[in-house]
Each structure stands twice: as structure tokens, then as C-alpha cells.
Amino acid sequence: MHLRRFAFAGLIGTAAICAASSAFANDTLTVAGLGGNLQKDLSATLWQPAAAGAGVSISEETQDGIAAVRVQVQSGSPTWDVVHLGADECAVGGKEGLFEPLDYNVVKSDGFDKKAYGKDWIATNTYSVVLAWRTDAYKDKHPTSWKDFWDVKAFPGRRALSAYPQEMMEITLLGAGVAKDALYPLDTKLALERLKEIKPNISVWWSSGAQSAQILKDKEVDMMAIWGSRVASVIKDGAPVEFTYQDGLLGYGCMAILKGSKNVAAAQKFIAGVVSPEIQARIPEMMPYYGPSNSLAFKVGKFSPEVLAKSNMSPENVAKQTPIDTNWWRDNSELVREDYSLLMSN
């Protein structure tokens, strides 16, 4: 009899523990990023402190872009709550209705560029596309802007651009003398003409970040357009390479909540934390060559001159660059890509 009662109590106890743990599980957000070092850095710098601040725990997954997100949402019950993507993909997803609207009473957009958030997504970090060159190829005078990239007489040598038109169309137009604030809508006709001119001097159209770093490090090219984070690692490896933020392009990484997520309220709080100035202020030191998307980060944080010189978003460096208009790319990407790929291979 006693034994049976004891067993019964044990059963109730077990049930209670199960109930408690499942209640706890509701406060676990599943965050899917693009994997690799970027996700590791983002998690340590932004996601973990933001989750702690919002009182939730996060479990991480990886995905490979908007196609995977679309499949998740179409399934009706997504297993991810929040995704980290490139901002052009967030803009596409928003247009397709893949995301829950962000509650801008919870998520504060003060300190953000207008191009850095939408109805249902917000930028969580920035990256730069910059002009980099081999110092052993340009000893006396090095290129300083995209105009020099197109000047093959003054700066001979092999060049590289990305195999995807985003950012490349912009730098082409900047090289052609188009003013920064008159870039959008992009004059694609002019850009394609100018690209055709430089094409004989382009020896590689790179299609991945790893490849872009490799061709610069191995001296396959002398001058190129490359992501700031990638060129930083090449310099760190000891290659004779320099770069400038002058005329750079600022792109965004972004976050959004998947439509059908069961943790929308917690996800709003989590994202609010990720973009808050205090947490954003961790980026310049923990992820140099990426930048905070919230400019207030430089108000709340105190940084050494070295950190400021490296950060692509420090007030001095940000003034040299142009933010990408993700909405323009959302609407034009596919056709521009066709023209661009035809130009590369023809």
C-alpha cells in the first residue's frame, strides 16, 4: 500500500517535471543563421546577450538562404522562429509574406538608416564591399577609388569582381562618376556598358567569399572588390594587401520572424535586444570589419581610435560609404543577374 502511494507520488512528480520543462521549452527560440564563422560571431556578440536580456534561451540551426525559409513557412508550422539573412533576401521574403510584422513599439528603430529596416525585418549588422589591392603590385601609388579601378593605364594589373551583380553595379556607377546620393534607381544600361569596358581586365569573377580571399592572397589578381571581413583575414594571414573604405558599399545582415512561429512575442523581445544600442556596441570590438546597424552604438560605447579606424560603421568611415538599397534589388535582381551573367561569359 505504502509502496503504491509512493509510486503514485513519484508519477505525479515526474508529470510535474515534464510539464515544467515543456513550459520552459516554449521560451526557447530557434534561430537559424547562415552558419560558419559569421554565425559563431553573431551568436557570441549579439544573440546570446539579447536572449539573456529577453529571458529566453535560444537553440541554433543553420540554413542556406531564402529558399530554405520559404520551404519552412510553406510547411505551415515552421521549426525556426527567427532567421538571419542578407537584407536583400529579407526584402524578398517580406514581399512574399514569409514573415510576421515587427512590432516597432518593442523593437526600437532609432539610430537606423531608413534603408536598414522594413515592415517585417530589421538590419542586425552591416558589412562593407571595399576596394583592396596588393601592395607588391602597386608600390609607388595605389588605387584610391573605383575610378582608379577603371583606369587601366595608370593602374595596370589583373582585377576581380563578384560573379553576382549586387554591389558590383553600384561600384561601377561610382567609378563612372555617378554621385553617391544619385545612385538609385541604378542606371543599369550605363553600368553594363562600363562593365563591358573593364571586362578584358577582369581575370576572375569570384562567386564565394572564400574564393575572393584566396585569389587575393595567392596573387591571382592585383586589385579587386571584396568584403571587408574577408580582406581583413587575408591581411591577418600576412599577405601584402591594403584596402580602403572610400567609395565602399554598405550592405546589411538582417533578422525576421517566420510567419506561423509560435513564439512571436518572445521573438520580438529577442530582436529588440539584438538591435539595441548597448548590444550593437559589442560589434566593433568583437566583430571588427563588420559593423553595428544601429548608429547609436557609437554613442553608448567608448572605443579606442584603433577600433574606430577598423570599424566600417565608425562615423568617419561610414561617411565614405553608400548604403545598398535592398528594395531596388528585391525588385530588379533577377533580370539584372541575367544581363550580368551574359556579360561575364560572352
Partner 1 sequence: MSAAADEAPSLNVELLGADERRHRFAMFGLSVPALLLVALVLLAPFSWLTWLSLFDASGALSSENYARLLRPAYINSFLSTLEVSALVTGICVLLGYPVAYLLSQLSQRTAQILLVFIILPFWTSVLVRTYAWLVLLQREGIINTWLKQLGLISESLPLVNNLTGTVIGMVHVMLPFLILPLYSSMRAIDPVYLKAAANCGASPAQAFRQVFLPLSAPGLGAGGALTFVLCLGFYLTPALLGGGRVAMWSTQIADAVSKFANWGAASALSVALLVVTSLILLLMRWGVQRLGTSVGEH
- Site residues (vs partner 1, CB under 8 A): 64-67, 70, 92, 158, 163-164, 203-207, 211, 214-215, 218-220, 333-334, 337-339, 341-342, 344-346
Is residue 258 within 8 Å of 82, Cβ to Cβ? yes
Q: Which is nearer to partner 1, 230 or 310 (CB)?
A: 230
Question: Cβ 137 to partner 1, closest distance in Å?
Answer: 11
Q: Which is nearer to partner 1, 43 or 203 (CB)?
A: 203
Q: Which is nearer to partner 1, 29 or 258 (CB)?
A: 258
Question: Cβ 67 to partner 1, closest distance in Å?
Answer: 4
Question: Cβ 89 to partner 1, closest distance in Å?
Answer: 9
Question: Cβ 204 to partner 1, closest distance in Å?
Answer: 4
Q: Which is nearer to partner 1, 110 or 218 (CB)?
A: 218
Q: Which is nearer to partner 1, 93 or 292 (CB)?
A: 93
- CA gap 130, 313 in Å, rounded: 13
Is residue 225 within 8 Å of 161, Cβ to Cβ? yes
Question: Cβ 71 to partner 1, closest distance in Å?
Answer: 9
Q: Which is nearer to partner 1, 64 or 197 (CB)?
A: 64
Question: Cβ 258 to partner 1, closest distance in Å?
Answer: 14
- CA gap 258, 101 in Å, rounded: 9
Question: Cβ 92 to partner 1, closest distance in Å?
Answer: 7
Question: Cβ 344 to partner 1, closest distance in Å?
Answer: 5
Q: Which is nearer to partner 1, 310 or 330 (CB)?
A: 330
- CA gap 168, 291 in Å, rounded: 20
Q: Which is nearer to partner 1, 113 or 339 (CB)?
A: 339
